[in-house]
Amino acid sequence: MPKVEKILFPIDFSEKFDTFLPWVSTFVEKFGATLYVIFVAQDLSDYTSFYVPHTSIQGFQEEALAAAQKKMAATAKEFMKDFPKLETRVAVGSPAQKILEFANQEKIDLIIMATHGRKGLERTIFGSVADQIVLAAPCPVVTIRS
């Protein structure tokens, strides 16, 4: 059996993310792995070509990042306190790109992530982070349909 020491669980703070924790817990316990949880805030610098009155995009991005870090700390404390080996991260950028970069840098052995099941125009506009991860991940990916 392959050795799985590092499991990555990307989250988006959706209402249902905690419903996936029993699945994550099963894998973490089975392998005795360290759980890495990452949230990626969308980089708003792509929108700097637009005029934004009364506030700067950079200032808003910094506030969003600080809020995401607080949310991650609270989420870990409330929902993930039972994971003995837990690492949390918050990043800014393209979610798929940052998740893949992190998986490569940390030599992640397994990624477990939720899929939203978007269809039609919504999928065309928002794309699928899960699809991008499955296609380019350096390790196996387990997807769980929400």
Separation between Cα atoms, residue 69 and residue 75, nearest integer Å = 10
CA distances to 57, 71, 112, 134 from 7, rounded to whole Å, are 33, 21, 7, 15
Q: State pLDDT tens for residues 84-128.
A: 999 999 999 989 999 999 999 999 999 999 886 666 555 554 558
Judged against a pLDDT cut of 90, whether residue 8 lies above it is answered with yes
Judged against a pLDDT cut of 90, whether residue 15 lies above it is answered with no
| pTM reported for the whole predicted model | 0.85
State in words which class domain 6-145 has: alpha beta
Separation between Cα atoms, residue 86 and residue 98, nearest integer Å = 19
Higher pLDDT, 15 or 83: 83
Across 131-146, average pLDDT: 91
Q: State pLDDT tens for residues 22-74.
A: 999 999 999 999 999 999 988 766 555 555 554 566 777 788 888 889 999 99
Which residues lie closer than 8 Å to 23 by C-beta, 6 or more apart? 112, 142, 144
